[in-house]
Structure 1
Amino acid sequence: MPHIAPRIEIFHKEEINHTLFFVFSNVFDTSEDSQVEKRFEPHTFILKQEKLFWFMNDKSSTLDQELLEEKGIKINSVQSILLNAVLLSYRRFTEELEKQKEVIDELNKQAIRSTSRQILIEVSDTERNLVMLQHTIETQEEAVTKLLDHEEFIEKLNNPHLVHDVKWYNRQVKKLINVYRDLLDSVSSLFSDIMSNNLNKLMKFLSSLSLIIASSSLIGDLWGMNTGGLPFEQSEYGTLIMIGVTLLAGIMMYLFLKNKEYFDD
């Protein structure tokens, strides 16, 4: 199962003749599912003496064929088969991380134009993918490091260049996953800042609208009191004059707020 990979076990009991058990994860590309956790495929290697057994959970996996096509001529030992397969999986991780980077770039562009619910869901899904990738890469690093520290394995491998390539890709994917997690965090922060800014603008608009309406309402309320001596009480144009005064009060409040730069961003 993908959730148990990667791992390594080295048995030294006589009855199993120093058997090495190694499991690593590979990620395959598909357009059907964007969730990376569903695209992990574990590969199990059992190295016993000079015999190597390779088990794949997914029958559709093409990692072995890709390995033969790319490294067939350079493979000269069972140890090199195992390590070249690990190297190829690191390249697949790098390609997957580059695709996640494209998603992050697109989310960053969309964040400037919109803060819709769908975009927030995409941010959450991308963050989930990066978390799963980071966990798998870190766990695989532990297993690969233990494998490269196995003196007997390295001695039989006798290929320092291959060891160097595996270590280099290991460092590279670690750097990439950390950089892309930081980039996604910045996009998430951008979403939060934009949403907060939009909320502030809305509250500012509602507050200014309330002040304008309140100034007009105050005039209307005072003019509508059931007392004598109100201006234009007996005039046939009193209602129109009252409406004009309330509108004037609202306009004056608007100009006052504008003069105080209350409507500026």
Structure 2
Amino acid sequence: MIEVYKTYDDGLRQINDFEEGCWIALTNPTATELLQVSDRYQVDINDLRAPLDEEERSRIEVEDAYTLILVDIPTLEERNKNNRYVTIPLAILLTKGAIITICLEETPILKSFMDGRVRDFFTFKKTRFILQILYKNASAYLQYLRVIDRKSEEVEKKLHASTKNRELIELLELEKSLVYFTTSLRANEVVLEKLLKTENIKQYPEDTDLLEDVIIENKQAIEMANIYSGILSGTMDAFASVISNNLNIVMKFLATVTIVLSIPTMISSFFGMNFVNIPGMEAKYGFYIVTAGAFVLTALVAYILAKKDLF
């Protein structure tokens, strides 16, 4: 899908054709759309296809007619009816006539610009637009990290009484998401450092503060990802032992119950044998006496085991 936007005096509008100073947003584009943009702005088709590969690394490439900025952005992926946090590439191409963004799927980062929810956003102010996208990206990482932290706390509460592996698997998925985030954030940090030194992208004094904010947000996201990853790793080790201990408690309880129930079973088995001279068989209340004795002995054994904290 291809969408074209441009800022006018009355605000941001979606247009039908390429114009000077426009923003071209490509979302999972077709080969025809890529060729159309490539021919119009003299962009290498391989650079346009690069963000369509989920394994593509973050980088900056400077060419004669354009500059390619490739970063990783966070997104949600549904797997087995559960949300999984991953990263996908987002390409920003700075050309002489327009700024081009390419992504595999629709992302809230760019959607906020399309909906006009970003202040001081103008399609013709290309440097600021790039920095605003990078700032939104770093903020999105922080938002997802907070969600992961809250979700991990919910899973921890379930683990306290769990004897199954389901919760541990959920924590493992969260830890894998944090590894993806940390790797992508570090790659984005390298891109930001190169962005400072790239002469093809004009550095305006009014954008200096925004660039500093982008770098600070990205560093904060890296620190948070490292902290949460360390906490999750320790939590998984601790709760693996908790689950094992919970299973031991269940097995101990079942063994104790088995011992207690074996007493009346053993007594009834003795008196159920097909012998002639069974003690008490001539007594009028023999059955009730034996039954009561079995219950008393069972209760006594249960009391002793309970005092030893075996229940």
Deviation at 1:174, TM superposition (A): 0.6
Equivalent in 35, 56, 59 of residue 8 of structure 1: 59
The corresponding residue for 1:178 is: 226
Residues 1-265 of structure 1 aligned to structure 2 (within 5 Å)? 1=52, 3-11=54-62, 16-17=63-64, 20-27=67-74, 34-37=83-86, 42-47=89-94, 53-57=99-103, 58=105, 61-62=110-111, 64-65=113-114, 69-72=118-121, 78-112=126-160, 123=171, 126-148=174-196, 150=197, 152=199, 156=203, 160-185=208-233, 188=236, 192-223=240-271, 230-263=278-311
Query: How large is the RMSD of aligned CA atoms in angstroms?
Result: 4.2
Match for 1:259: what amino acid?
A: K
The structure with the greater share of residues assigned to strand is 2
Deviation at 1:64, TM superposition (A): 4.2
Per the normalisation by structure 2, the TM-score is 0.62
Counterparts of 2:117 and 2:141 in 1: how far apart (Å)? 19
Counterparts of 2:162 and 2:281 in 1: how far apart (Å)? 53
The answer to whether the Cα contact below 8 Å between 2:178 and 2:225 also exists between their aligned partners in 1 is yes
Deviation at 1:93, TM superposition (A): 1.6
Look up the SS of the partner of 1:17 in the other structure.
coil
In structure 2, the CA distance between the partners of 1:106 and 1:190, relative to structure 1 (3 Å rule), is same
Counterparts of 2:176 and 2:261 in 1: how far apart (Å)? 48
Look up the SS of the partner of 2:119 in the other structure.
helix
Deviation at 1:27, TM superposition (A): 4.0
Q: How many residues align?
A: 254
Look up the SS of the partner of 2:261 in the other structure.
helix
Q: Which runs of 4+ in 1 moved over 6 A?
A: 113-118, 226-229
The answer to whether the Cα contact below 8 Å between 2:57 and 2:71 also exists between their aligned partners in 1 is yes
Per the normalisation by structure 1, the TM-score is 0.70
Structure 2, unaligned runs of 5 or more: 1-51
Q: Percent identity among equivalent residues?
A: 19
The answer to whether the Cα contact below 8 Å between 1:8 and 1:23 also exists between their aligned partners in 2 is yes
Look up the SS of the partner of 1:240 in the other structure.
helix
Deviations 1:59-91 (A, max 9, x none): 774254479942438x99644432332122111
